[in-house]
Structure 1
Amino acid sequence: MLNNKSILITGGTGSLGKALTAHILKHWPEVKRLVIFSRDEQKQYQMAQDYPMSKYPQMRYFIGDVRDRERLVRAFSGIDYVIHAAAMKHVHIAEYNPDECVKTNVGGAENVIQAALQTKVEHVVALSTDKACAPINLYGATKLTSDKLFVAANNIRGHHNIKFSVVRYGNVMGSNGSVIPFFIKKRSEGVLPITVNEMTRFNISLQGGVDMVLHALKTAWGGEIFVPKISSYRITDVAEAIGPNCEHKEVGIRPGEKIHEEMISSSDSFFTYDIDKYFVIVPQTPIWNIADFVKTFNAKLVPQGFAYNSGTNEEWETVSSLRQLIKEHVDSNFEA
């Protein structure tokens, strides 16, 4: 699928960007070009130690910011597929720096769209978040806006042979800034700070995130929001799995946080289809025929009022399964 193709990843030095890079180089060694686009030169330098151009001649490291449309246009020259992973993602930092979050997550999304339309990009897959569904914080609101921009971009493409689609998922296990590595680091202090005991979150592995992006690249018709069927965990079970001998101290919810996360709201149910491993929220004004989509993917419309919520999910991780997942996906030397 990706051999002889040129791919660019915005925010490519992040956790998912590095996982995508490893997966692509392993499974499509004849990829024509793999461009890592990000604004952090130190992270690019470090990533280039793992994937030097002397060993991986298809690799390119491109310093740039998604806020800079001219730089994006230059970077997209000759690119077939763009995976847009660049974002400000920390809820509390966005609450304190709202204008910066808007510039990156909304302005950056619009710049990616316009740069892709100006060049010969064939497909853009944008990364979303569960916080974009019924958002109560600025980060979620900017990502919902970003989702809407990418979905609507299919209607303004004109003569361009290009598709825009979105993948939306929950907390990525072991990603930078997520709760599991935070708890692993804090347990040496003997106290694990828990926001509220009732809190739940969706959970997906880095590989699961990679698989979703590749699924969208392979199957999207343009305008879909892909949502994985994944498990939830209770924050208290994560604390027990990592620090059973630690004090679990409830510290209160931070600004902009939810007790439970949603990936599909009841309002989305009218446009949401079940396609086996994933749900798909189709665009309200698609550029293709819904009946053809249903037939091709054996898609089934979910019941009206259906909502996909981490607190009412049917699939749950346990303390023991979390320990096993941490060992498999986060730290092979992990011991509770």
Structure 2
Amino acid sequence: MFDNATILVTGGTGSFGHTFVPMLLKKYSPFKVIIFSRDEMKQWEMAKKFEGDSRVRFFIGDVRDRDRVYRALDGVDYVVHAAATKIVPTAEYNPFECIKTNVIGAMNLIDACIDKGVKKVVALSTDKASSPINLYGATKLTSDKLFVAGNSYAGSNKTRFSVVRYGNVMGSRGSVIPFFMSIRGQGEFPITDPRMTRFMISLDEGVELVWHAFNDMEGGEIYVKKIPSMKVTDIASTIAPEAKQKVVGIRPGEKLHEQMIGTEDAFYTYEYPEHFKILPAIHNWDKCANRIKDGKKVSEGFLYASDNNAEWMTEEELGAWIDRNKDSIGSI
């Protein structure tokens, strides 16, 4: 699909882009990969890694800027939308800014992709968009709905939109693993709640889910990968078994357990060997055979959350993963 194609990644200097671009260049032979983001220093640093590869281009811009988005999409075949205001407290204290990026930015991109004739768009979402309790989650749920509805807006245009949703990315900047590793010499770990659980997914798995969405999508699907869970206390014990764990309480806007599919979505959710797929509730698309394919509808009241998961990561498995990836943890 991506051979000889032009792919644009919004927010491409983030953790996802740093993994997606090398994997894309290794597996496919794209004509061009465009990194669209607003931070010139991050672009300058990232460009060093691809020096001499003329396929990788950098484009300064912001998804809030409708005209700039239109310009960036000239000749683009496929788009991965990774740009977002993601830090929960930042969103709570700067709600207007969060909405401008996560909602208005999504609207700008959808309009521009349709008008420019982009073939397919996959937007990255988050577990926090499922039954959201904070502004970040609420804006991402809104964004998800916009991308699903974008398939209607496209009309006779062939542009198609889908969404992928996953939770805690292991080892990414700002996540719990690099945080614990940075303070393990202090002898004490702050634990928000000893019952807390989190989904565990690697960036490589996140990229592969995006590729699957591009290959499988008819338009409007939300893809949720099956991934293991782990208790936060076990993550801490893996990184520093001798450290004391001090309970500090849940922060504002934080959930005890991550949720990727709520019971309200069970009516439209189908199960596959390695993932779930939430089909659109509009236009009877949830009954579309081309979207369902070989999926099996989940039971009424189905809930996919990190505490009721059938698959769990052991401390030994996490320890082995950390050993394999210790040089890159927290760097992207």
Query: Shorter-chain TM-score category?
Result: over 0.9
Map of 1:31 onto structure 2:
30
Give 5+ residue unaligned stretches, structure 1: none
Contact 1:4 1:32 in 2 (8 A): yes
Amino acid at match of 1:2: F
Q: Is 1:267 the equivalent of 2:264?
A: yes
Contact 1:263 1:308 in 2 (8 A): yes
Aligned counterparts of 1:11 and 1:220: Cα–Cα separation in 2? 22
Shift of 1:276: 1.7
**Structure 1 residues 291 and 144, CA gap change in structure 2 (3 angstroms):** closer
Map of 1:18 onto structure 2:
18
Aligned counterparts of 2:97 and 2:125: Cα–Cα separation in 1? 18
Amino acid at match of 2:72: A
Q: How does 1:1-336 map to 2 (within 5 A)?
A: 1-28=1-28, 30-52=29-51, 55-286=52-283, 290-293=287-290, 297-331=293-327
Aligned counterparts of 1:242 and 1:99: Cα–Cα separation in 2? 38
Aligned counterparts of 2:288 and 2:2: Cα–Cα separation in 1? 29
Aligned counterparts of 1:13 and 1:191: Cα–Cα separation in 2? 33
**Structure 1 residues 331 and 317, CA gap change in structure 2 (3 angstroms):** farther
CA offset digits 1:70-128 (Å, max 9, x no partner)? 10000011000000000111111111111111111111111110111121211110000
Aligned counterparts of 2:235 and 2:313: Cα–Cα separation in 1? 9
**SS of equivalent residue, structure 2 residue 36:** strand
- CA-based RMSD of the aligned residues comes to 1.6
**SS of equivalent residue, structure 2 residue 8:** strand
**SS of equivalent residue, structure 1 residue 212:** helix
**SS of equivalent residue, structure 1 residue 168:** strand
Aligned counterparts of 2:283 and 2:151: Cα–Cα separation in 1? 8
Aligned counterparts of 1:307 and 1:331: Cα–Cα separation in 2? 36
**SS of equivalent residue, structure 2 residue 156:** coil
**Structure 1 residues 242 and 69, CA gap change in structure 2 (3 angstroms):** same
Aligned counterparts of 2:225 and 2:107: Cα–Cα separation in 1? 25
Amino acid at match of 2:245: H
Amino acid at match of 2:54: P
Aligned counterparts of 1:4 and 1:162: Cα–Cα separation in 2? 19
**Structure 1 residues 165 and 4, CA gap change in structure 2 (3 angstroms):** same
**SS of equivalent residue, structure 1 residue 155:** helix
Contact 2:279 2:286 in 1 (8 A): no
Amino acid at match of 2:187: G
Aligned counterparts of 1:294 and 1:68: Cα–Cα separation in 2? 33
Amino acid at match of 1:47: M
Contact 1:77 1:120 in 2 (8 A): no
Aligned counterparts of 1:200 and 1:113: Cα–Cα separation in 2? 34
Contact 1:173 1:329 in 2 (8 A): no
Aligned counterparts of 1:21 and 1:294: Cα–Cα separation in 2? 28
Amino acid at match of 1:310: S
Contact 1:205 1:329 in 2 (8 A): no
Identity of aligned residues (%): 53
CA offset digits 1:158-213 (Å, max 9, x no partner)? 22111000000111111111110111111122221111111111110011000000
**SS of equivalent residue, structure 2 residue 200:** strand
For normalisation by structure 2, the TM-score amounts to: 0.96
Contact 1:223 1:286 in 2 (8 A): no
Shift of 1:150: 0.3
Shift of 1:156: 1.0
**Structure 1 residues 332 and 40, CA gap change in structure 2 (3 angstroms):** closer
Shift of 1:269: 0.5
Size of the alignment, in residue pairs? Answer: 330
Amino acid at match of 1:46: E
Aligned counterparts of 2:54 and 2:272: Cα–Cα separation in 1? 38
Aligned counterparts of 2:123 and 2:269: Cα–Cα separation in 1? 18
